[in-house]
Chain A
Amino acid sequence: DTGVSQNPRHKITKRGQNVTFRCDPISEHNRLYWYRQTLGQGPEFLTYFQNEAQLEKSRLLSDRFSAERPKGSFSTLEIQRTEQGDSAMYLCASSLAGYTYEKLFFGSGTQLSVL
């Protein structure tokens, strides 16, 4: 069990550029979640997958955001035409269906800074 892995750890980009983050969940976990955490706030739910199916999306996930989990393993979160308001930490978490209450594990996040 190597934990939830997120890459890169930090990303600095210029406004208007596209960025992509990657999350590798714990290997046997079939559920994967994305959260966004802005400075001084708690994380906010963005979306979650069960296997490769994206089952829920928050209204926070504007049309500039797209998340995929093509083979039900790792996931990517892409932000197109980044804005300064996108600066935040993006957290990924994973769990086994039916055990989210008991065994939800978070990664260390990707810190995005949009200049």
Chain B
Amino acid sequence: AQTVTQSQPEMSVQEAETVTLSCTYDTSENNYYLFWYKQPPSRQMILVIRQEAYKQQNATENRFSVNFQKAAKSFSLKISDSQLGDTAMYFCAFMKQGAQKLVFGQGTRLTINP
């Protein structure tokens, strides 16, 4: 079974700073996908960024980028130039290729302070 671990329950930074959220996972699979989701107070899970395990290049979406270390089974999220609207719960998630279910970590509560 796959597990996803987020070791930082809470983080807080000042607006415009850069912040990195950590995620590690455990799997025996070779082909899989990794995701970061954002859950604001509205409760809707919103996809931030995704990564295919077979790709060596780290995914980037505007201010969001990941550091994917397959051998170390690590998948961290970097948010650059953080904004007040980035305040939310962030969840790391894993999906085995061909499967339909996401396995989520426990989440990190990120607060961006003005």
- How far apart are the CA atoms of A89 and B46 in the complex, in Å? 16
Given contacts A40-B106, A42-B105, contact A107 B44 (CB under 8 A): yes
- In the complex, the chain A residue whose C-beta lies closest to that of B102 is A45
Q: Answer yes or no: B48 CB below 8 A from chain A CBs.
A: no
- In the complex, the chain B residue whose C-beta lies closest to that of A109 is B43
What's the least CB distance linking A112 to chain B, in Å?
Answer: 13
Partner of A42, one of B47, B93, B101: B93
A91 and B45 contact, CB distance less than 8 A: yes
Can you list, as one digit per residue, whether each of A81-98 has a CB less than 8 Å from chain B (1) or not (0)?
000000001010100000
Chain A, interface residues (CB within 8 Å), range: 20 to 34
Partner of A56, one of B100, B104, B105: B100
- How far apart are the CA atoms of A111 and B44 in the complex, in Å? 12
How many B residues have CB within 8 A of the partner chain?
A: 21
What's the least CB distance linking B38 to chain A, in Å?
Answer: 11
A45 and B106 contact, CB distance less than 8 A: no
Hey, which bits of chain A sit against chain B, CB under 8 A?
Answer: 31, 33, 35, 40-45, 48, 55-56, 58, 89, 91, 93, 100-102, 104, 106-109, 111
CB-defined A-B contacts under 8 Å, sample of 16: A40-B107, A42-B93, A42-B104, A42-B107, A43-B102, A43-B104, A45-B101, A45-B102, A45-B103, A89-B43, A100-B100, A102-B50, A104-B102, A107-B44, A109-B43, A111-B43
Give the 6 A-B CB pairs with smallest separation, nearest first: A42-B104, A45-B101, A106-B45, A108-B44, A108-B43, A42-B91
